[in-house]
């Protein structure tokens, strides 16, 4: 949901899609994934208001810190 007018929203979504492509992403619809991932019922991929949660260990983790420290 947004208070933005439709033209502004379409422009922002187009900008996001272009940025994904510039970064080498192959996701066909980045907005879909951004809307879908926060669903906490998705196993192993929940993003909650307190951060990323590993439901196997039931711990909150920072994916950037975890990647750097490994």
- Give average pLDDT by consecutive 10-residue segment, the chain, 70 residues: 87 89 84 65 67 80 66
Residues 69 and 51 occupy one common structural domain: yes
For residues 48 and 64, state if they share a domain.
Answer: yes
Number of domains in the chain: 2
Which H or E run includes 59? strand 59-61
pLDDT value at position 58? 80
Q: Which domain holds residue 43?
A: 37-70
Among the listed residues 44, 47, 64, the one whose alpha carbon sits nearest the alpha carbon of residue 55: 44
Tell me, yes or no, whether 49 and 65 share the same domain. yes
Contacts of 4 (CB under 8 A, 6+ apart): 12
Would you state the pLDDT for residue 7?
94
Does 28 share its domain with 45?
A: no
Whole-prediction pTM: 0.46
For residues 32 and 2, membership in a common domain is answered with yes
Q: Both 45 and 32 in a single domain?
A: no
pLDDT at 22: 93
Identify the three-state secondary structure at position 47: strand
Q: Does one domain contain both 18 and 8?
A: yes
Tokens 């929940």: give the residue.
46
Q: How far is CA 69 from the centre of its chain?
A: 22
């Amino acid at each position: 949901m947004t208070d933005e007018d439709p033209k502004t929203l379409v422009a922002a979504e187009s900008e996001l899609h272009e940025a994904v492509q510039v970064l080498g992403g192959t996701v066909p619809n980045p907005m879909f994934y951004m809307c879908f991932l926060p669903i906490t019922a998705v196993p192993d991929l929940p993003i909650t208001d307190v951060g990323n949660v590993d439901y196997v260990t039931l711990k909150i983790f920072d994916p950037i810190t975890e990647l750097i420290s490994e």
